[in-house]
Amino acid sequence: MTSDPFFAGSDAPLIMGIINVTPDSFADGGRCLEPADAIRHAARLVAEGADVLDVGGESTRPGASAISSALELDRVIPVIERLTGEFDTPVSVDTSKAVVMREAAAAGAAMINDVRALESHEARTTVAELGVPVCLMHMQGRPCSMQVAPGYENVTAEVGDFLFERAAVCRAAGIAARNIIIDPGFGFGKTLAHNLQLLRELDRLTGSGFPVLVGLSRKSMIGAMTNREVGDRLAGSLALALLAAQKGATIIRVHDVAPTVDVLKIWGCVTGNRMGRSGGTSRDSVDQECRK
């Protein structure tokens, strides 16, 4: 018997906490490069209410350069092994490389998060064999050049068409429909106007039947709207997380777990939507308070 994915059945978004095991990620590069630092950071995210932990060893910020499989494995596998050994929280691996997907799953990872939407045949075959959930993200171009001059006739329609086509390709490769998540890829080959249109029309994706993951935390679109630097974009990140929740997002990927959980607790009490499934006492207690 095949069990449902960990994200199935939640009425409100799950919170994905970010663990970048990289020296050059745009918001937190270098902070978790050492495994011990990554584990301490993960412990804090779990305590704050993260429902899933996303571990990435290769930066995909605008202008980022690719790294070798060997280096990516060296960065992520020791961290994933410790995370899955010490915490019950599901772990996702943020990678486009089939070998990293295989080794991460062997180390206990429960999900693949691929910014390139399983473009390689080997990656699709690997995920089909592993039988784990996978997130397919839209990106126009490549990280090294994606923000040079992105252009669309209708960004929401084109992003949707791409993601649905990729989902069909993945299903043809043997990946179960219940394991497919889609991500519009905010900031990946998109201008501020493109990102805003995608967010306004996000329900066109969330109404498609596929779970939708969004990553808006601390991104340059917030800086463009508020003139805030990366480290001072919490308020903007929370506003966008709430808007994504209201539009039906299934998973919200964030750097700042505790304040995002608080925002969604308030939203949940007002709307009656239950919180995610982390099992943390703070979420259990707020559900009880809302019912009083």
Residues serving a catalytic function are 219, 253
Q: Which residues contact 257 (CB under 8 A, 6 or more apart)?
A: 15, 17, 44, 45, 48, 49, 50
- Tell me the C-alpha to C-alpha distance, in Å, between residue 214 and each of 71, 198, 247, 251: 27, 11, 11, 6
DSSP-derived secondary structure letter, 262: H
Region class of 80: left (phi > 0), else alpha (psi between -120 and 50), else beta: alpha
Strand, coil or helix: what is 110?
coil
* Distance of alpha carbon 173 from the chain centroid: 23
CA-to-CA separations, 50 to 129, 209, 276, 283, in angstroms, rounded: 28, 24, 9, 11
Name which of 222, 181, 241, 263 is nearest 27 in CA terms: 222
